[in-house]
Structure 1
Amino acid sequence: MLDITTSRRGALALLLAGTALSAGAASAEEITLGALRLTSHSPTYIALERGYFADEGLEVELSFFESSAAMAVGVAGGDLDYGVTSITGGLLNLAQKGAVKVIGGALAEDPSVPGALILASNKAFEAGLTEPSQLSGKSFGITTAGSSFHYMLSRIAEKEGFAASDMQMKPLQKVGAIVGALSSGQIDAWVIQPSIAKRLIDEGAAHEIGRFSDYDPSYQVTAIFTSTGIAEGEREQTEAFLRALSKGVADYNAAFVDKTASEDDVSELTGIVHKYVSVDVPDDRFAKDMSEGSMRINEGLALSTTSVQAQMDWMQAEGLVSDEITLEMLVDSSYVDTM
């Protein structure tokens, strides 16, 4: 015989549980996060898929971009809440206008870990371009003036004793376009993170002629940033975002950089990243890219302000940004652990 009292209690319990779930969903803060389909953005995908953002009460929507410059504009314009980008002239100009703030560090050169590689096209290599000292007069791929690629070229040129202006810089806007230009011999050289560089080398599309860490061993490649309005007005949300992303960083470094994670963990994390990055690449090739081509991302999203200042000084010396821009205009030090 059906116990009506028990049934009513069960129905009430289900109703209360459903109400609690609805309230929890409604209370989650929705944020939009900019991303590039690169392995350097792996912590974002790990934090999302492993529920670290959700654990902090954040519901994250990803918005994908082809370049860091476009992402910076998206944050400044309010289309994005947070982003991960290189320190570019565009970002500094937006900071001077009071639109954006850097709140953490991300990808970085580490002399103990293989970093960005300097590549020569097959055509240029066969013509004698076999080391960075021979880059003067050659063509070099960048996205835009003032980009990370432009900066890296300048550091190589400085140490090798020639001016970056002695090279033919080819602004191709997108990483994919530079890959195509290098592979087809339309440009002579490029410098890029190892996950992309090693694949080009293995496929016979380019040759390694140097390592960027020989020119700037502490280069802060990318940083975490947000709008000034969010940095100043949404502290709890921003701190929650950084905590969640930091957990993704820790998982990423353990699996792919420090090699301290279990095989099962590495396999799981590789699968997570592959859902978002190089989806057309076979699983075994992508696993090799992650294992052999992952650069360090700063634990706790610490930021090398020394490197950021050096990049700013270079842009100012090149006339790419105003001399009036200061580190304080760019970085919100209340969020950042410096190194």
Structure 2
Amino acid sequence: MKKCTYLLFPLLLIAFLSGCSDDDELTNVKLAEVTRSIFYAPQYVALELGYFEEEGLDVELQTIPGGDNVMISLLSGASDIGLVGSETSIYVAAQGADNPIINFAQLTQTDGTFLVSREPIEDFSFDDLIGSDFLGQRVGGMPQMVGEFVLKENGIDPQEDLHLIQNIDFANIASSFVSGTGDFVQLFEPIASQFVEDGVGHIVASFGEQSGNVPYTVYMASDSYLNENEETATKFTRAIYRAQQFIQTASPEEIADIVKPYFADSDISLLVSSIDRYQAQNSYAEDPLLEEDTWEQLKAIMDEAGELPADIPYESIVNTEIAETVINE
């Protein structure tokens, strides 16, 4: 009897440990970001500080340039969650998708681009743009739409008052400006600060400060994914919310040190100055809740740009329950 008992105990122990291992396995989440940007600093904080792992998630990050490509990845199931401009979900919904893309957690709440001039300008006025060569962003994307919205708000007709250049791919805009194209360019950080440091350009205005709050970049997933993986989406949002809270109180130097592995080619001082600019204009959302008034502002900007394909109701492609659950815990 004793011999049988001694043999049985190791088997029971192995079974117990195996059971624990299964319970402790991380849930894989394939995350597609539309670009690598210091504008998404809270996301990299959540990755580096282990917030996702603490929620039981193994987040697999990949960069997929182009909002349309992120949508294709989500709709095909190649990615689970996308970080991209919320306008893309409107484009998909307007096409009558059977499995619409749902916005469930906001990351940034202002435009992230800055107006950079080739020559220094004292006491800049938007009238200084009249007659200039303006190197803008891709037609139909948030940077372009917000940029044109701000110009119009300041009395500039982009089509009439400027020579508007929009035939250059997003990835090549900065290098085109360096090579001599354009008198002004619309750029994200840290490239804008890099241009200032290198003497290539001068930051004269912030489109984020000028345009007000909009759901600029948002985490989204297909309706079917959220229905089948609500707990995973909630855990994901909880990790992002922790990072958003961290960002609100941490210094630019502390944040830059944490996210530096994602920007190996950028000098740490540039990351610090970029984060400082975004913090100063409240670009990083304080929580993941996408509110209806900012959704209406987004549609107004799209409509002004002639890019709103349909008046998609807020409640049809925005899920607030996940964010509200996390915030109220």
Fold conserved between structures, TM > 0.5 = yes
Checking the alignment, whether the CA contact within 8 Å between 2:86 and 2:103 is kept in structure 1 is no
Deviation at 1:62, TM superposition (A): 0.8
Superposed, 1:262-281 pairs within 5 Å as 266=254, 269-277=255-263, 279-281=264-266
The alignment yields a C-alpha RMSD, in angstroms, of: 3.2
SS at match of 2:190: helix
Q: Deviations over 1:37-76 (max 9, x none)?
A: 1112222222222221122221211111233342233222
The letter for the 2-side match of 1:270 is: A
* Distance in 2 between residues matched to 1:328 and 1:79, nearest whole Å: 26
Provide TM-score, normalisation by structure 1. Answer: 0.79
SS at match of 1:297: coil
* Distance in 2 between residues matched to 1:143 and 1:158, nearest whole Å: 16
Superposed, 1:34-183 pairs within 5 Å as 34-35=32-33, 36-88=35-87, 90-96=88-94, 97-98=96-97, 99-109=100-110, 116-122=113-119, 130-166=124-160, 167=162, 168-174=164-170, 176-183=171-178
In structure 2, the partner of 1:31 is 29
Deviation at 1:207, TM superposition (A): 1.3
In structure 2, the partner of 1:192 is 187
Deviation at 1:317, TM superposition (A): 4.8
Checking the alignment, whether the CA contact within 8 Å between 1:121 and 1:185 is kept in structure 2 is no
* Distance in 1 between residues matched to 2:41 and 2:204, nearest whole Å: 27
The letter for the 2-side match of 1:173 is: D
Deviation at 1:82, TM superposition (A): 1.0
Deviation at 1:148, TM superposition (A): 1.5
SS at match of 2:116: strand
Give the stretch that moved more between structures: 190-199 or 179-188: 190-199
Q: How much identity, in percent, do the aligned residues show?
A: 19
Unaligned runs of 5+ in 1: 1-6, 258-262
Checking the alignment, whether the CA contact within 8 Å between 1:121 and 1:183 is kept in structure 2 is no
Deviation at 1:20, TM superposition (A): 4.7
Deviation at 1:227, TM superposition (A): 1.1
* Distance in 2 between residues matched to 1:193 and 1:256, nearest whole Å: 20
Deviation at 1:101, TM superposition (A): 0.9
Checking the alignment, whether the CA contact within 8 Å between 2:137 and 2:186 is kept in structure 1 is no
Whether 1:230 aligns to 2:201 is no
The letter for the 1-side match of 2:174 is: V
* Distance in 2 between residues matched to 1:224 and 1:204, nearest whole Å: 36
Checking the alignment, whether the CA contact within 8 Å between 1:87 and 1:147 is kept in structure 2 is no
Q: Structure 1 40/328 Cα, relative in aligned 2: closer, same or farther at 3 Å?
A: same
* Distance in 2 between residues matched to 1:212 and 1:317, nearest whole Å: 16
SS at match of 1:226: strand
Superposed, 1:236-255 pairs within 5 Å as 236-255=231-250
* Distance in 2 between residues matched to 1:210 and 1:152, nearest whole Å: 13
Q: Deviations over 1:92-147 (max 9, x none)?
A: 1113334201112211239xxxx64211124xx68x99532232343333442111
Q: Structure 1 300/142 Cα, relative in aligned 2: closer, same or farther at 3 Å?
A: same
Deviation at 1:32, TM superposition (A): 0.4
Provide TM-score, normalisation by structure 2. Answer: 0.81
SS at match of 1:308: helix
SS at match of 1:299: coil
* Distance in 1 between residues matched to 2:272 and 2:169, nearest whole Å: 28
SS at match of 1:301: coil
* Distance in 1 between residues matched to 2:146 and 2:272, nearest whole Å: 27
